[in-house]
Chain A
Amino acid sequence: MTIGKTRLRLSAALLLGLLLPPAWAGELTLEQLMAGLRARGDIRAQFVETKHLAVLRGVMEVRGTLEFRQPDYLKREHTSPRAEIYEIEAGTITISQPGKASKQVALADFPPLAAFIDSLRAILSGDADTIERLYRTELSGTDQAWTLTLTPRDRNLADYIDWVKLEGREQRLIRIETQEAIGDRSVLELK
């Protein structure tokens, strides 16, 4: 698959959107955005996550690679501050660290975490229904540069997260900012 082809498909979708009433040029709908993200398919990108935590004097920087495969495989491979791998497939997280036995955790045991991971997978796979089930959404910007702000509907999740702000260029997600209920904040930037 080439980028050109995808672009063409996205442009076609956008064109169709433009032709349909009410016609509003440049504005992006969630469905269009999600269609674009879905079309992008599997992802593998390096990231830097900056954590602003209340208990820490400075910020904490986590570096590594984020990998996503349709429909629900997600992997974070950290290289710094220490090597570790988080692999999420269906309902299970596997945590492995060099020199240690890997550990498996059922997502269902931690509903807020499950909801958070579900939403991340939903965004990466362009699943608008799940996103709208879990969050109130607010979309701004254009198809060139957009910002999607998510506010949890579910109380379970709202106990932990105030909002999540996703930013992207075209069908590429480049920044995830998470504001937690206890005041901590993290910014994850994808390269």
Chain B
Amino acid sequence: MTSARWLRIAPWLLVLAGCLAWMSGFLRVESSLSVFLPAERGRAGDALLDELRQGRGAQVILAAISGGSESERAAASRALADALRSDPAFSFVGNGADGLDPAVIELLFEHRYLLSPNVDAQRFTAESLHEQLQRRLETLSSPASVLERRFLPADPTAELSGVLQAWQPEQGPDRRHGVWFSPDGERALLLLRTRAEGFDLDRQQRTLDQVRAAFATAAPTGLTLALSGPGVFATQSKNTIERETKLISALDAIFAATLLLLAYRSGRRLLLATLPLGGAVLVAATVVDLLFDGIHGITLAFGATLIGVAMDYPVHLFSHLDGSAPPRQRLAKIWPTLRLGVITTVAGYAALAWTDFPGLTQLGVFAVTGLLCAAAITRWLLPDLLPESYGRPLGPWALAIASGALRAPRAAPLVAAAVAVAALGYIVLQRDRIWENDLAALSPIPEQARHLDQELREQLGAADVRDLVLIRAPDLETLLQRSEAAEPALTTLQRGGALGGFDLPSRYLPSQARQRQRQSSLPAGQELATALNAALEDLPFRPDAFQPFLQDVEKARAQAPLTLESLAGTPLELRLLPMLGRSGDGWHAFVPLSGIKARATVADTIAGAGITGVAYIDMRQASSDMVAGFRDEALDRMLWGAGAVVLCMWLGLRSLRATAAAAIPVAAAVVTDVALLLALGERLSLFHLISLLLVIGMGIDYSLFFRHQAGGDDQRQTVHALLLCAVSSSGVFALLGMSQLPVLRAIGLTAALGVCACFGFAWAFHRATGASADAACL
């Protein structure tokens, strides 16, 4: 190689090596799905976005221990819970044995007259006191009364038990040996809440590993641990998708390599063919990482798919290398067409970058950078890596196939047009079932795992992640007041059976106003003493037995209310904090609803209560809306992109007629692709849309190259390249489309069908539109 050539190659190698070094050393691949939600815009809906971003519902892990004997399962539950409670990765570990310690009970006891839901003006009349004392008297015969009796002189109205009921609900899972069990006793149950955000799949994965490791140390052999929950599902899907992707990628590589080897009978070309796409991924990933301070795993995966068209660039060059001229000159012949294809596609993908969704922006930048880089490598690097006189004419077989492909029957354009119109008609007929908004439909989680999740959720009484009441307020006090205002409606729903249970923050920490209200209902010393004496008249209690009660009520009349601050550092704070959230414009609380039987009734009742800042949210609906929003945004960008594509073509071809001729096959292919997908029973999701973008990119190239008519061998070489591109792309994506995983299937099927359609329409239309020598592109 000449030194001039080395000088041209060296900068490329440096850039690629630099990107490779950056990728291996500094690249930050994120896995939080939250970048696929709109960026914060300071709107009122923020709390909901915040919830979706953090995936608080997704932080819950349900655990079940089975095998061994019942007492072994109980012991393992305790050992596991003890190990996890000291682990900072968990904000809550519940197994039924999380009783309150004496110091906490002391704190609650001290504030019982402000906290107990039973305290009101009627509570301390002679009549009410008499009734309460009568009840206490009855419990004195119990052998368990030793526990309550110590509180009796100071708390004859049993306010403490009223307070404790909020913290230690009597309902809840069955308990055996003091820990939660399934009703049949076969499984010991635990409920964990991770600190890692639900969508942070890597941290979720680590946390799950921690749970399994802790179980392995804590439990004897013979016991098994089953984990479930959104985080478990998400990491499982990720792992399954990664595994399947790896397998298919390997098959794809073998297929594509075999095809290229058969076509060119050259190991060198095979190797060089991977350079534009490989280099493009390296550079694009590095650029996105630098611009966005990290790249999302999905951007990487989608992006690499999206710029898959770059695999075609070297093929166009190789098919023209017949040894008649140095590679650089051969390339120059096809460069105008290739360049127009690249610029047009880049213009189409660039539209993705202008959006509020960081995920789409990243994807747009990735695709644009990648395509430009791949084109540049093909144009300026590849020819220098080939010897001056490299190349040999295509074999007779290849030429024969190419010549055959060029002869389209006269009726072809007509048939193609009819197909496209029929496809359009079909889409219009099917317009009501085009979109897939349910994320679950794309989930690769087996039915059996979903069934286990449902079962554990019911047994634990754990709220489904689906139904929530969102309470918003400018400050914590207002939030708690609104929470209190919502309680009657929710209680009514629960009594009516529409709702299994709910968990309001005000149940744990009443508002200051409510506490003050209770305080003001406490009678003055003399008044209370008189009522007590009257109540004691016919009871066997000592007249002076309840002096501590009189003193404590008097003290409570001047007591400062309990606040979030005064709970700081206690286990009570730990229980309360996960329910509360702070966002830019105030406080919010998510009240999980469990055991929903009548969703519409719940929604109507809560809306009907008309409490400011309190709203029922169906998370599935909300996330479907989010998905739809993201998809609509992508669709919107695609339409802008289509506009940009047409504009670019017109600028390049400088003829409206030629532009129409080049664009119509692509449009027809997209329409046919969508119609075929619908006919196969698919509903379009984001994954289909992204793949359609790829199809458009390839379609543009096919269409332009079919019109790149230079006559003779050159023309046949062009068609040879196109055939090779179409066969390899459709084969690669067809393999992906055979996957059982909905996401991979969506991408593979869309792209494979789309590539075939693009080639077909480009081929069918190229004669009809009078392929004149409009190769004077740009």
| Chain A residues near B (Cβ < 8 Å) | 51, 53-58, 60, 62, 76, 78, 81-82, 84, 86, 90-93, 95, 105-110, 112-113, 116, 160-161, 180-182, 184
Contacts and interface: CB of A to CB of B under 8 A. Distances in A.
Nearest to B156: A55
Nearest to B178: A108
B143 A82 contact: no
A84 B142 CA distance: 9
B146 A57 contact: no
B542 A56 contact: yes
A98 B177 CA distance: 27
Contacts of B179: 108
A110 B176 contact: no
Contacts of A57: 540-542
B451 interface: no
A66 to B, nearest CB: 10
A107 B177 CA distance: 8
Contacts of B150: 160, 181-182
B143 A92 contact: no
A86 B141 CA distance: 11
A109 B142 contact: no
Given A56-B541, A82-B141, A108 B146 contact: no
Nearest to B78: A108
Interface in B114-162: 138, 140-144, 146-147, 149-150, 152-153
A86 B142 contact: yes
- Which 10 A-B pairs rank lowest in CB-CB distance, beginning with the nearest? A108-B178, A55-B545, A106-B178, A106-B175, A91-B177, A62-B141, A182-B150, A57-B540, A57-B542, A56-B540
Contacts of A76: 143
A46 B515 CA distance: 49
A92 B74 CA distance: 14
* Chain B at the A interface: SS class: loop
Nearest to B177: A91
A106 B541 CA distance: 30
Interface in B150-186: 150, 152-153, 168, 175-179
Given A56-B541, A108-B178, A113 B141 contact: no
7 contacts: A51-B141, A57-B540, A60-B540, A76-B143, A81-B138, A86-B142, A106-B175
Contacts of A160: 146-147, 150
B103 to A, nearest CB: 13
B501 to A, nearest CB: 19
A107 B96 CA distance: 12
A55 B542 contact: yes
Contacts of B147: 110, 112-113, 160
B149 A184 contact: yes
B99 interface: yes
A55 B152 contact: yes
Given A55-B149, A86-B144, A93-B144, 15 more contacts: A51-B140, A53-B140, A55-B546, A60-B140, A60-B540, A82-B141, A106-B176, A106-B177, A108-B175, A109-B168, A110-B144, A160-B150, A180-B149, A182-B150, A184-B149
